[in-house]
């Protein structure tokens, strides 16, 4: 609704919207069958506070959790390692994911890594597609052009996420509906 008019200079067609939603429903149906956990939804460095007077995990404070929901355990991990506002090196993201999987194993809740990484790709793609739309809206409706500067990073993540085999049909939709040269910073639009 918001990104395509900014990137392409036209709204999405009714058929594009219907196909996009149908493809997401299919992909998310499987990803959302896993047991639901607390999901902060905005879990990134700016919402974490270091509290040195505490010990252990309690040293990390958490703010901005009013939009929390129950959902996929992959969502907050992706929010942290695919931060829309700052670069996270792929090796740091991978080490963080490996640490999470090892911690789950150590507490007796082992997770199948291949399946979980695919679930992460799905949650990441959904999140990054949503963020691209939000940032386009913040630019277009709210007059906040600085958000356009984050789009190359968000689309970089989304393009990589779409390489997961579980997202092949969505990747084809994006490649057809929003050509790569129109992703990232929309042409003719100055942040």
The pLDDT value given to residue 138: 96
Return the closest-CA partner of residue 116 out of 124, 106, 126. 124
The pLDDT value given to residue 3: 95
The pLDDT value given to residue 97: 96
Phi, psi of 50 (to 5 degrees): -85, 125
What whole-number distance in Å separates Cα of residue 181 and Cα of residue 35?
A: 38
Return the closest-CA partner of residue 162 out of 142, 183, 143. 183
Which residues does residue 70 pair with via DSSP β-bridges, in sequence order? 38
- Which residue do the tokens 């991990």 mark? 77
Which residues does residue 60 pair with via DSSP β-bridges, in sequence order? 50
Q: Is residue 191 predicted with pLDDT exceeding 80?
A: no
Percentage with pLDDT > 90 across the chain: 73
- Which residue do the tokens 């959790």 mark? 65
Return the closest-CA partner of residue 83 out of 124, 118, 32. 124
pLDDT tens digits, 78-98:
999 999 999 999 999 999 999
Which residues does residue 48 pair with via DSSP β-bridges, in sequence order? 62
Mean pLDDT, to the nearest integer, of 101-116?
93
pLDDT tens digits, 44-56:
788 888 999 999 9
Q: Is residue 39 predicted with pLDDT exceeding 90?
A: no
Mean pLDDT, to the nearest integer, of 156-185?
94
- Please give the span between the terminal C-alpha atoms of the chain, in angstroms, as a whole number: 20
- Which residue do the tokens 């990589």 mark? 160
Q: Is residue 5 predicted with pLDDT exceeding 60?
A: yes
Least confident of 31-40, 125-134, 143-152, 173-182: 31-40
What whole-number distance in Å separates Cα of residue 32 and Cα of residue 73?
A: 10
Higher-confidence residue: 34 or 10? Answer: 10
pTM (2 decimals)? 0.89
What whole-number distance in Å separates Cα of residue 136 and Cα of residue 75?
A: 22
Average pLDDT taken over every residue of the chain: 91
Q: What is the CB neighbour count within 10 angstroms for residue 96?
A: 14
pLDDT band for 64, please (50, 70, 90 cuts). confident
pLDDT band for 189, please (50, 70, 90 cuts). low
Quick one: angle between helices 113-140 and 14-31, nearest 10?
140
Is the distance from CB of 124 to CB of 78 less than 8 angstroms? Answer: yes
Least confident of 50-59, 67-76, 158-167, 181-190: 181-190
Is the distance from CB of 189 to CB of 6 less than 8 angstroms? Answer: yes
């Amino acid at each position: 609704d918001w990104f395509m008019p900014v990137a392409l200079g036209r709204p999405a067609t009714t058929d594009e919207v219907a196909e996009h939603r149908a493809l997401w429903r299919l992909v998310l149906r499987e990803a959302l069958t896993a047991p639901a956990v607390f999901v902060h939804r905005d879990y990134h460095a700016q919402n974490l506070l270091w509290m040195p007077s505490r010990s252990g995990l309690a040293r990390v404070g958490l703010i901005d959790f009013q939009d929390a929901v129950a959902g996929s355990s992959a969502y907050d991990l992706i929010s942290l390692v695919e931060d829309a506002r700052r670069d996270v090196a792929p090796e740091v993201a991978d080490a963080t994911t490996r640490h999470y999987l090892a911690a789950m194993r150590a507490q007796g809740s082992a997770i199948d890594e291949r399946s979980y990484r695919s679930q992460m790709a799905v949650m990441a793609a959904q999140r990054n597609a949503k963020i691209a739309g939000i940032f386009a809206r913040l630019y277009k409706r709210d007059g906040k052009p600085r958000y356009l500067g984050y789009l190359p990073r968000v689309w970089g993540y989304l393009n990589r996420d779409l390489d997961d085999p579980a997202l092949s049909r969505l990747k084809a939709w994006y490649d057809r509906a929003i050509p790569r040269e129109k992703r990232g910073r929309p042409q003719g639009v100055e942040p």
